[in-house]
Amino acid sequence: MPAITHHIPAPMIAAYASGSLPHAFSMVVASHLSLCHDCQAALGAHQAVGGALLEEAACVAVSQDAKSNLMAQLDEPAAPEPLYDAKGIYPGPVMQSLKGQPLRWKTLGMGVKQNILFEGQGGSARLLYIPAGQAVPDHSHNGLELTLVLQGSFSDETGRFGVGDVEIGDETLEHTPVADAGDPCICLAATDAPLRFKAFMPRLLQPLFRI
């Protein structure tokens, strides 16, 4: 795999390590971490710092009832959730979201397809399939968008993004991503707010496509 040049920022890795990232963004970060040794090392450093802080934190007394309730919950048998490994270009977190089910691509037009993996409080996550040479309509953002390339590559006003790279878009970014020549570009994208499309037709279809 070519060298990864666009990484997860340190503050976002710290938020992931602390468990404070919304689920959709955590899926993208976890998928990038499965591909990027540099960010794996950064995560390990944050986890080490967090462990050290926990060891130094003062103990807090809890009631006997709280302790009993916790122990009772631990004693209750729980069916373990099946674990799904990476498959082909799709990292483990994506396969975990699919729960072993096949991909169900839905056409968005011009050969572009999507598969929504998650929708809920805090955002949504989806797979996007973009044929080589095809552009995603010009848009900006109402919030944050993380886009991880799993196959192929795309380019926009900020540069080129290949396999393992993550583009981070916020309210300041307006762009027109175009899939590069070669394999179709397949991305994992997470957003916490609807995109702002410039053209009339994408805006008209936006509620239908839930993007």
Please name each of the domains of the chain with its CATH number: 1-211 (2.60.120.10)
Residue 12 and residue 33 in contact, taking contact as beta carbons nearer than 8 Å:
no
pTM value is 0.85
Distance CA 124, CA 158 (A): 24
178-201 pLDDT, tens digit per residue, is: 999 999 999 999 999 999 998 998
Asked if the model's pLDDT at residue 77 lies above 80, the reply is no
* φ/ψ (deg, to 5) at 71: -65, -35
Q: What does each C-alpha distance from 139 to 55, 94, 111, 174 come to in angstroms?
A: 46, 25, 18, 6
Closest of 95, 96, 104, 93 to residue 146, by C-alpha: 93
β-bridge mates for residue 42, sequence order: none
Per-residue confidence (pLDDT) for residue 209, from 0 to 100: 86
User: Cα(179)–Cα(64) distance, rounded to whole angstroms?
Assistant: 59
Indicate whether 56 pLDDT > 80. no
Whether residue 57 is predicted with pLDDT greater than 60 in this model: the reply is no
Nearest to 6 by CA among 163, 146, 166: 166
User: What's the rounded Cα separation, in Å, for the pair 124 and 121?
Assistant: 8
Query: Looking at the predicted structure, is the pLDDT value of residue 67 above 70?
Result: no
Average pLDDT over residues 160-186: 97
Averaged pLDDT, 60-84: 67
Q: Is 81 a residue whose pLDDT tops 80?
A: no
Mean pLDDT, residues 137-164 taken together? 97
pLDDT at 64 over 90: no
Q: How confident is the model at residue 173 (pLDDT cuts 50, 70, 90)?
A: very high
DSSP helix/strand/coil, 147: strand
pLDDT of 17 reads 95
